[in-house]
Structure 1
Amino acid sequence: MFTIDTRSRTPIYEQLMEKLKELIIREVMKEDEQLPSVRVLAQQLTINPNTIQKAYRELEHQGYIYSIPGKGSFVSPVKNEINKERMEMLRKELERIVGEILYLGVPKDEVIKLIETMEEPERREDKND
């Protein structure tokens, strides 16, 4: 599925969260698809099951997945309405990052050009696979 860099300064649970978010956003993992069990993923990645459980809990808190006791964790259906709390958090993070870039002396028009050249994540259109 993916690999974790154990030498990275980024905590393992955060790396795991980011990899799973990417799979969900790019619709590699479809809504209501079951995620690997904590035990299976721990064996595959050779990391502590508590680390995986922490990543799953945080992803559930952020709305990317949901859990059914005794069944496992699943990809949350895409919501048509924007999750306002999540959007506010991302807006603040973007303000922090752009503020730091501007502080480092990058002109505002270059920041705007950078944003304009960014591409939206690819989404798979064939939902009936």
Structure 2
Amino acid sequence: MIWVKVDFHSGEPVYQQIAQSMKGDIISGKLSRDELIPSIRELARDLKINPNTVARAYRELENEGYIYSRPGVGYFIKDSDKKTMEEKALEILAKEMAVIVNIARNYQVSRQKFTELVMQSINRAYGGDE
């Protein structure tokens, strides 16, 4: 079951929110290989949005290799190995980290203090030193 939450006030285009949500579910393993996802019309109805918006998200997902379509049947999660999913996760994380690092730099947080903060966050999330 796909749970896509859309925030119409976020400033991020709805199609991108849908695509990002599904990418996260695919990368994390919540959606598995060859799993059927909702049709464009079904998801549009559930989210109360224009079907063209969902179609755009699905095109993006298909172009990036996350899903594939079978005409007359629907859209499915594409088979990707664990290494590929990890690479995609790292690519997304790198973009997010660049934003965080720029915020820290703009706030004039020292490199040392920022590194300490990152390590504290990692230790809270992963449970101690590795």
TM-score when scaled to structure 2?
A: 0.71
Instruction: Please tell me whether residue 12 in structure 1 is matched to residue 23 in structure 2.
Output: no
Aligned equivalent of 1:99, options 92, 102, 111: 102
More moved, 65-74 vs 37-46: 65-74
**2:4/2:22 contact within 8 Å kept:** no
Q: Partners of 1:66 and 1:114 in 2: how far apart?
A: 40
Structure number with the higher helix fraction is 2
Unaligned runs of 5+ in 2: none
TM-score when scaled to structure 1?
A: 0.72
Percent of residue pairs bearing the same amino acid type: 38
Report the residue type matching 2:41 in the other structure. Answer: R
Q: Partners of 1:18 and 1:61 in 2: how far apart?
A: 14
Partner of 2:50: 48
Partner of 1:66: 68
Unaligned runs of 5+ in 1: 121-129
Provide the alpha-carbon RMSD of the alignment: 2.8
Q: Which fold has the larger relative contact order, with Cα–Cα distance below 8 Å and residues 6 or more apart in sequence?
A: 1
Q: Partners of 1:80 and 1:29 in 2: how far apart?
A: 13
- Aligned residue pairs, count: 119
Decide whether aligned partners of structure 1 residues 5 and 89 sit closer, same or farther in structure 2, where only a CA change above 3 A counts: closer
Aligned equivalent of 2:77, options 75, 78, 83: 75
